Amino acid sequence: MKKRILRYVKHITVTILFLALSAIFLGLYHGASLHYGDHPSRMNLDKDGPYVFYENDSTLSVNYLRGNKNDGFYTQTKNYASNGSILGSCYFPLEDSSFDFTINTQLETPKTIYTDGNPIVAISDIESGFKTFRDFLIQHKVIDKNLDWIFGKGHLVLVGDFVDRGFSTTQVLWFAYKLEQEAKKHGGLVHFIIGNHELKNMQAKFGAASQKYLAVSAILDKQQHDLYSQESFLGKWLSSKNAIEKINGHIFVHGGIHPEVAALGLSLEEINDISRKHYYKAYFPKPQKTSAELISSTRKGISWYRGYFRENLSQVQIDAQLETFNAKSVVVGHTLQSKVKTFFNGKVIGIDVHHPKDYNKTWPNTQSEGLLIENDIMYRLLHDGTKKML
């Protein structure tokens, strides 16, 4: 009897262990991770900012948060004429460091297509990780250790989802803005491609946003949706950006291009025009389907589509899609990969990887990756500054 009980317990234990290990491996396969070691400075709001809002057609208010939980919080606010340049500074509490930049209130909608043969560095899904973003660009000589642009006339493509799931959203957005201004002076370009999480913030869907930004908006005496509304500078800046671009023959889009979108007969410029008109309109399916409905759909829309990796597409479909837009390949984020890799004979490149977080550690350990396209040769960029040909 005793042996039977022991054998039964042994079988149960082995079964539970097998199921537990299977669950862990399945979770790891699908990108799950365990985070631990939260740094206490993640909710340090002193010096946070700037948060810049249009008071009227001629005046901008620039706000920095000050104070702490014990003594209370307040804002330092100064108004500026909206037709001039404004000096700004962004503080990063984890390292007690900051970077400076100039806010130029003249915003322009970028072109959709670029052809110049200059090198391209692309990275996606930073998800509010300022330190990760900064260090990756330093390692691959896009910027120097002083955070100044050294990539000459190169293209830096940010393929969406630079916000949410972290505590450095403000730092990441202002850093991208700073680099955009500096790149222009050297003949280079920073391309900010809108992802679904940028859309979520513009549409007041804050399920993935850090609680920090609810506190920020309260201290500013605003609602959270005000942070990226058309009355905020960063909101206006984001809403001027494209959702899809073609650079030296390669398409960059956060989600991808559903076959039905490709079949609409629209140019990339027309797709961008429609997308921008719907950045602030939350999508819900309606009985009467239109081109705008399809392009902004949360399943088939260009900032949301995952079909390259989850649908049974053929090489013929991918080739036809690229031929429609006279493109060599399509580079996407949004759908997590174990590493930067190619699909469909190198015609689809997935670059969304698990990046390290600023304020906590994860298990398994994660490392950043990106993509370099130089003379139409593609390289996988590793976190330590090395590159491997794809």
Q: Is residue 130 situated within a structural domain?
A: yes
Contacts of 131 by beta carbon, 8 Å cutoff, 6+ apart: 92, 94, 95, 168, 356, 358
Whether the Cβ atoms of residue 201 and residue 209 lie closer than 8 Å to each other: yes
Q: Is residue 44 situated within a structural domain?
A: no
Tell me what pLDDT residue 200 has.
98
Q: Is residue 219 situated within a structural domain?
A: yes
Mean pLDDT for the chain? 93
Is residue 370 domain-shared with residue 265, that is, in the same domain? yes
**Helical H segments across the chain, by residue range:** 2-29, 130-139, 169-185, 196-202, 212-219, 233-239, 259-262, 268-277, 291-296, 307-310, 315-324
Structure tokens at 194: 């809108």
Tell me what pLDDT residue 289 has.
84
Q: Count up the domains in the chain and report the number.
A: 2
pLDDT confidence bin for 221, thresholds 50/70/90 = very high
Is residue 10 domain-shared with residue 129, that is, in the same domain? no
Q: Is residue 75 situated within a structural domain?
A: no
Q: Is residue 266 situated within a structural domain?
A: yes
pLDDT confidence bin for 28, thresholds 50/70/90 = very low
Is residue 148 domain-shared with residue 240, that is, in the same domain? yes
Question: 11 or 286: which carries more pLDDT confidence?
Answer: 286
Spell out the long-range contacts of 201-209 with Cβ–Cβ below 8 A and sequence spacing 24 or more: 201/163, 201/164, 201/227, 201/228, 202/228, 202/229, 202/235, 202/238, 202/239, 202/279, 202/280, 203/279, 203/280, 203/281, 203/282, 204/282, 205/282, 208/164, 208/165, 209/163, 209/164, 209/169
Is residue 155 domain-shared with residue 16, that is, in the same domain? no
pLDDT tens figures, 360-374? 877 777 899 999 999
Is residue 26 domain-shared with residue 122, that is, in the same domain? no
| Rounded percentage of the chain residues whose pLDDT exceeds 70 | 90
Q: Is residue 42 situated within a structural domain?
A: no
Is residue 258 domain-shared with residue 355, that is, in the same domain? yes
Structure tokens at 16: 């539970």
Domain coverage including residue 117: 106-389
Is residue 127 domain-shared with residue 15, that is, in the same domain? no
Q: Is residue 306 situated within a structural domain?
A: yes
Tell me the mean pLDDT in the region 92-121.
97
Q: Is residue 142 situated within a structural domain?
A: yes
Tell me what pLDDT residue 118 has.
98
Tell me what pLDDT residue 33 has.
55
Is residue 131 domain-shared with residue 15, that is, in the same domain? no
Whether the Cβ atoms of residue 255 and residue 332 lie closer than 8 Å to each other: yes
Least confident of 42-46, 138-142, 196-200, 285-289: 285-289
* First-to-last C-alpha distance (Å) of the chain: 61
Tell me what pLDDT residue 215 has.
97
CATH (domain of 364): 3.60.21.10
Is residue 7 domain-shared with residue 115, that is, in the same domain? no
pLDDT tens figures, 157-173? 999 999 999 999 999 99
Tell me what pLDDT residue 59 has.
95
pLDDT tens figures, 242-300? 999 999 999 999 999 999 999 999 999 999 999 999 999 999 998 888 999 999 999 99
Tell me what pLDDT residue 21 has.
57
Tell me what pLDDT residue 85 has.
87
Tell me the mean pLDDT in the region 59-73.
96
> Mind giving me the DSSP string for 173-198?
HHHHHHHHHHHHHTT-EEEE---HHH
Is 24's pLDDT higher than 70? no
